[in-house]
Amino acid sequence: MDLNTRLQNVTVIGAAGKMGSGISLLLALEIAYRALEHKDRTYLLNLVDVNDGALLGLLRYLREQAVKDAEKQMSRIRRLYADREDLVENGEMIQAFADEVLQHVRTGKTMTLAQDSTLVFEAAFEKEELKVGIYKELAAICPRDMYILTNTSSIPLHVLADASGMLGRVIGYHFYNPPAVQKLLEVITPDVCDSELQQLAAELAKVLRKTVVPSNDIAGFIGNGHFMRDGLHGIREVERLAQEHGFVKAVFFVNKTSREWLLRPMGIFQLIDYVGVDVFQLILRVMEKYLNDGLHSPLIDRYLELGIKGGQTSSGTQKDGFLKYDKGAIVGIYDPEKQEYVMMDGTWNKEADTQLGAHPDPTLSWKSLQGDPHLDAKLRRYFGSFGANPTFGVQLATDYFRVTREASLRLVADGVAHSAEDVNKVLTLGFFHLYGPINDYLD
């Protein structure tokens, strides 16, 4: 069965979650364009989620985004509606397109919506038993040739497929957040996987204009394989530095150097908060279960016991986690001893800044280097100056740099990634880093 036929009846499970919404949007737009191009065919997109309120929110989101997409694709939209005499103005066509997108969408809480689908995207909560249960249910009601593309970011595919009796019919399709915007798609092909499914997955990635990085079927894959070790290093550094400097300052040092000294978009604790402390713990547990590699942090467990979770509100504002935020800016750091946030009010953080020493080149930042045509040369010069600049900040950044590089090299050595280039691609495309972790900048 070709892709176009499969796209005539598609289901997204967990459609109203953060990743599910984005995947649903990508599919809803693609289906609407196809429906306008192939008027003789019927297209349906079934969006399944357990949360009614979130499903209503998803419909609103789809409409808003459909309008935005049509505004950007106006020439294409005008061509597609050339035969509709009742639609003359851009505005009329944009509204008609938004209606078109929603016309193909059915939402519901029951899995039976998926019964005619031959293509199912699964973006349910990252829990093995939950996913296996869903796959078993799908296998029972869907056509025999149904395929599952799962957004799991850590659970081995062969485990899910085997436990659900879906061997050969499941592939990993790991989008990055937000799926509609992020170019990276990590495709995880288990050892047993129908060749038709592999081809479909590749063809669909092209249609959705994603950059595919293949990853092997080892828990955590490339993205989390790197992120978890990167995060654990940050946490261990905090534990080490806390003995001398106190906990809050230690978080301050590590977060600041990992962002500003390493020229990353976020500090490591800001990133953990963004992903969610609970999600971080969950992925650690999944990975440790299969890899037995010391992927565990008592500090993370303690935070969750104290109810410190991070993550985002449904409107996308950052919730407090390791750090406290005000309109996106970091304003405080959580102290688990005192069980309260210590504000960065200048009483102690100025001194902490002095302790770190001057930034090696204050003119350079992640933001300032965006799209810089001389990026590589500038990074080379910047990291090259580390040796002659032995401040405390540079020391922390150097250690961080080396650890993250080691962890990345191990992903290649362990066969998670096919090449160093693939690891670098995941970090630059999926995490928006300016440079891949496998490099010779500090050699």
Residues within the interface to another protein (CB under 8 A)? 71, 74-75, 78, 85, 88-91, 94
Supply the minimum distance, in Å, between the C-beta of residue 18 and another protein.
Answer: 24
Q: Which amino acid is at 343?
A: M
The two structure tokens encoding residue 174: 């790991």
Could you tell me if 214 and 422 are in contact, meaning their C-beta atoms sit under 8 angstroms apart?
yes
Residue with smaller CB distance to another protein, 67 or 167? 67
Compute the distance between CA of residue 255 and CA of residue 268 in angstroms, rounded to an integer. 5
Supply the minimum distance, in Å, between the C-beta of residue 85 and another protein.
Answer: 7
Supply the minimum distance, in Å, between the C-beta of residue 96 and another protein.
Answer: 14
φ, ψ for residue 213, nearest 5 deg: -115, 120
Residue with smaller CB distance to another protein, 18 or 76? 76
φ, ψ for residue 75, nearest 5 deg: -65, -40
Supply the minimum distance, in Å, between the C-beta of residue 66 and another protein.
Answer: 14
Supply the minimum distance, in Å, between the C-beta of residue 364 and another protein.
Answer: 23
Supply the minimum distance, in Å, between the C-beta of residue 87 and another protein.
Answer: 8
Which residues, 6+ apart, have CB-to-CB distance to 116 below 8 Å? 9, 44, 142, 143
3-state SS of 76-124?
HHHHHCCCCCCCCCHHHHHHHHHHHHHHCEEEECCHHHHCCCCEEEECC
Supply the minimum distance, in Å, between the C-beta of residue 74 and another protein.
Answer: 4
Q: Is 184 helix (H, G, I), strand (E, B) or coil?
A: strand
Supply the minimum distance, in Å, between the C-beta of residue 354 and another protein.
Answer: 35
Residue with smaller CB distance to another protein, 294 or 373? 373
Residue with smaller CB distance to another protein, 78 or 245? 78
Residue with smaller CB distance to another protein, 46 or 65? 65
Residue with smaller CB distance to another protein, 78 or 285? 78
Compute the distance between CA of residue 182 and CA of residue 167 in angstroms, rounded to an integer. 29
**Cβ count near 174 (within 10 Å):** 25
Helical pair 52-72 and 90-103, crossing angle rounded to 10 deg: 140
Question: Of 226, 235, 237, 223, which is closest to residue 186 (Cα–Cα)?
Answer: 223
Residue with smaller CB distance to another protein, 76 or 418? 76
Residue with smaller CB distance to another protein, 91 or 384? 91
Could you tell me if 99 and 86 are in contact, meaning their C-beta atoms sit under 8 angstroms apart?
no
Compute the distance between CA of residue 167 and CA of residue 174 in angstroms, rounded to an integer. 18
